[in-house]
Amino acid sequence: MRTTRAVLNVASLNDFGFGPRTLTWWAVVGFMLIEGMGFVLAIGAYYFLLPDEGVWPPTAPVPPLMWSTIVTVLALLSEIPNVIAGRAAKRLDLRGVRIGLVGAIVAGLLMLVARWFEFDAMNVLWQRSAYGSIVWALLALHTVHMLTDVYDSVVLAAIAFNPKHWDGRKFSDASDNAMYWHFIVGSWIVLYLVIYGTPRWL
């Protein structure tokens, strides 16, 4: 009995992909879920403290808005180069990825500088009270995430400007990096409303 085998030449197919077809995409999504739960638990701790106090904040004036609002504005503006980098990656457009990454790095660094002044402007120290501890913890958690992705963007940009080390999989990495920055911006909007909105709405 004769057996026929179908043979398909897949040599021309890319060895990389985007979105749910890649393991790194799932890794980033899992990372965001874990970190998101960390934020949920920290926010839960913030609101857990609130009912036991007659006034909120209990040991300090309402936190000032200037530097936190600057961080928020910069975060929203940072989405412009971030979206450029993410879309360029999916088009395999190295020049667009470079432009987007450089813009996102500049925006991220400006956010970190503004965050430094935001910490300095806080009218309570972390060791002063439970309120001070949880507010500083929320800001510190988000700052660590910002530092992580700015560093990742710097590494990707360094590789992007050295084309001999850039391959198709790096386009996928750039796309995943852009997705993670969406998470950082979105999580900050939530934290901004919690930290600076809650004392003003009560």
| pTM: predicted TM-score of the whole model, two decimal places | 0.86
- Residue 4: inside a domain: no
Measure Cα distances from 14 to 11, 91, 164 in Å: 8, 13, 18
> Mean pLDDT throughout 116-139?
89
Is residue 147 very low, low, confident or very high in pLDDT (cuts 50, 70, 90)? Answer: very high
- Residue 3: inside a domain: no
| Cβ atoms within 10 Å of 105's Cβ, excluding its own | 21
Q: Which residues form the domain of 162? A: 19-201
Q: What is the pLDDT of residue 125?
A: 84
**Structural domain count, the chain:** 1
- Residue 9: inside a domain: no
Amino acid found at 98: R
Q: How far is CA 175 from the centre of its chain?
A: 13
The per-residue pLDDT of the chain, averaged, comes to: 88
Q: Distance (Å, rounded) from C-alpha 103 to C-alpha 150?
A: 11
CATH of the domain at 123: 1.20.120.80
Amino acid found at 197: G
**pLDDT tens-digit readout, 22-33:** 888 899 999 999
157 contacts 105 by C-beta, under 8 angstroms: yes
- Residue 92: inside a domain: yes
65: left (phi over 0), alpha (psi -120 to 50) or beta: alpha
Is residue 5 very low, low, confident or very high in pLDDT (cuts 50, 70, 90)? Answer: low
**pLDDT tens-digit readout, 176-195:** 999 999 999 999 999 999 99
Q: What is the pLDDT of residue 2?
A: 61
Q: What is the pLDDT of residue 16?
A: 54
Q: Distance (Å, rounded) from C-alpha 156 to C-alpha 124?
A: 37
- 2 burial (CB, 10 Å; 0-12 / 13-18 / 19+) is exposed
- Residue 2: inside a domain: no
Structure tokens that stand for 167 in this block:
């391959």
List the one residue out of 78, 99, 202 whose CA is nearest residue 150: 78
Is residue 60 very low, low, confident or very high in pLDDT (cuts 50, 70, 90)? Answer: confident
- Residue 8: inside a domain: no
Q: Distance (Å, rounded) from C-alpha 183 to C-alpha 90?
A: 19
Q: What is the pLDDT of residue 154?
A: 96
- Residue 1: inside a domain: no
Is residue 10 very low, low, confident or very high in pLDDT (cuts 50, 70, 90)? Answer: very low
**pLDDT tens-digit readout, 78-126:** 999 999 999 999 999 999 999 999 999 999 999 999 999 999 998 888 7
- Residue 93: inside a domain: yes
